[in-house]
Amino acid sequence: MNTVNPNRTRWTLTVGSALLAAIALSGCRVGPHYNAPAPPTITAPNFKESTVNFHDAEGWKVASPQDAMIRGNWWEVFNEPELNALEEELNANNQNIKVSFNNFMAARAVIAQARSQYWPTVTAGASWNRSKSSGNLHNTSVANTGSTGTLWSIPVDVTWTPDFWGKIRNEVRETEYAAQASAADLQLEKLTEQAALAQYYFEIRGQDMLQSILNETVEADKKSLDATQGSYDVGVGDYISVVEAKATLQSAQSSAINVGLLRAQYEHAIAMLVGKVPTDFSIPVKPMTYTPPTIPTGMPSQLVERRPDVASAERTLAAANATIGIGYGAFFPQVTLSAAGGFESSTFKHLFDIPSRFWSLGPSVSQTLFNGWLYRAQLHQYQAIYNADLATYRQAVLTSFQQVEDSLSSTRIYSQQILAQQQAVEASRTFLDLEQERYKLGVDPYVTVVIAQTAYLNSQVELNTLHVQEMLSAVQLVQALGGGWDRSQLPTPQQAGAKQPNSAYTTP
């Protein structure tokens, strides 16, 4: 006949009640609920600098707000195959991008670390001990030599701290939001490196064009020197004209040599960006001037969703809110369920016999009664950090609009200045032609030709500089708009915390 052990029944009911209570209480979560801050209310259909003062002006035009925004490889909008190839190399080999990528991988691993607290901790071990007790432990007249014993032990310990107050869940949320912020930082790093490469590329093309201008100037100055020297040799000209022509030529030659310095530095910078040693890297010379394409800006209200730095600041704010919940959880008691069991025996032969079993089970509750108001001070710290992160987020939003408006205005103004400077180049060319004729006729001294040559060269150099600045502003505009990224590409908390493959580790 089977009998029911009342002690075992009570023990089972106690354990079952504790588990049910743990499950029920684990649904509680303390701390403030997070609401993402509302972006600024914008009703304007377009950015201010794309319409004010430029609506009827000639020059670079802004795309309609309804035009499709840039997606994916934003640099392709410039229609430069060589730049496209360099950007692809950068995406694959840039070391700063790899640093940010592995920072994101580390942030994902931290999520798994936080989630591990949901589960019990199980430890097992094995030990063997042989000991001898003292023979003088008791005051007796009979000689006592002590006793010798052996103990074999295989214990298993299980401890579990249920998440009654949501402290662990807040820690998991904090790590998930931090990983999302790291993912946005990765995109920001990519955009920063890509924009730097594009700017260096157009700087190099500007240097190539400047080199071409100065080389043509040197050749023209050589011809002028030959002409003045010939006039002097036949007794028509004067020696001062020869000296002035020679000085003009040597100055142009010096400037032409100096162009190579910046070009080399830009080339070295691009080599570093694409992960190559500058010694083995070069970009062919190709004198060109560019006109920036029409860049779709989208609606101003869309900007907040397109900037990775704004997304990072908002996710950092969400993580700070979760940290406040962690701070609140410290005020509540911590309950730990512990169990231990295993086998103990004085001989290995009987170690796994049923009588060698042992076990223990019991919950524990701990609560800090006083620690000098440490938890309250920490909570105040977390709240202050949240307020600071909120201000950082709002500042990032304001900065994003400033950068777009700055880039719009500079691109448009440079395009209009280029139109005026082109007229200045034509006028200075005409001025030089007239002065050369007047010098040949003996009306003006050669110094007026030098003045005209200098004016023509300076106007050409200034036009080339404006072309470069216009392209740099166009790149900055794309960067300010977030490139081809938007918030929908940000991984969700579940995606950020998904299990990583073992092959995620790579050796350098």
CB atoms inside a 10 Å sphere around CB 177 = 25
Task: Supply φ then ψ for residue 415, to 5 degrees.
Answer: -65, -40
Residues forming beta bridges with residue 124, ordered by sequence position: 156
pLDDT, averaged in runs of 10, over the chain (508 residues): 43 44 56 87 80 61 69 93 97 97 96 94 92 70 70 92 91 96 97 98 97 96 92 88 93 95 97 96 94 89 93 97 93 92 88 89 90 94 96 96 94 94 96 93 91 96 97 96 93 88 52
Instruction: Give the tokens for residue 323.
Output: 């940290």
Predicted confidence at residue 132, as pLDDT, reads: 82
Instruction: Give the tokens for residue 81.
Output: 């195959």
DSSP of 171-220, one letter per residue?
Answer: HHHHHHHHHHHHHHHHHHHHHHHHHHHHHHHHHHHHHHHHHHHHHHHHHH
Residue entry with tokens 């890509």 = 194
Predicted confidence at residue 200, as pLDDT, reads: 98
How much is the pTM?
A: 0.87
Predicted confidence at residue 508, as pLDDT, reads: 43
| Coil/strand/helix, residue 65 | coil
CA gap 361, 421 in Å, rounded = 88
Q: Report whether 339 contacts 208 (CB < 8 A).
A: no
Predicted confidence at residue 111, as pLDDT, reads: 96
Q: Which helix (H) or strand (E) holds 353?
A: none
Predicted confidence at residue 141, as pLDDT, reads: 55
Predicted confidence at residue 67, as pLDDT, reads: 64
Predicted confidence at residue 312, as pLDDT, reads: 97
Q: Report whether 317 contacts 499 (CB < 8 A).
A: no
Predicted confidence at residue 464, as pLDDT, reads: 97
Residues 6+ apart with CB under 8 A from 168: 114, 117, 118
Q: Is 504 exposed, middle or buried (0-12, 13-18, 19+ CB in 10 A)?
A: exposed
Predicted confidence at residue 57, as pLDDT, reads: 58
Reference 47, options 336, 426, 303; nearest CA is 303
CA gap 173, 317 in Å, rounded = 12
Task: Spell out the domains of the chain, with CATH numbers in brackets.
Answer: 25-120+163-332+373-501 (1.20.1600.10)
**Cα angle at 378 between 377 and 379, to 5 degrees?**
90
CA atoms within 13 A on the CB side of 222: 7
Predicted confidence at residue 401, as pLDDT, reads: 95
Cα of 133 vs its chain's centroid, Å: 66
Instruction: Give the tokens for residue 155.
Output: 């214990």
Distances (CA, A) of 361 to 10, 124, 159: 13, 16, 10
Specify the DSSP class assigned to residue 253. H
Predicted confidence at residue 322, as pLDDT, reads: 95
Residues forming beta bridges with residue 359, ordered by sequence position: 341
Reference 321, options 182, 184, 178; nearest CA is 178
Predicted confidence at residue 3, as pLDDT, reads: 43
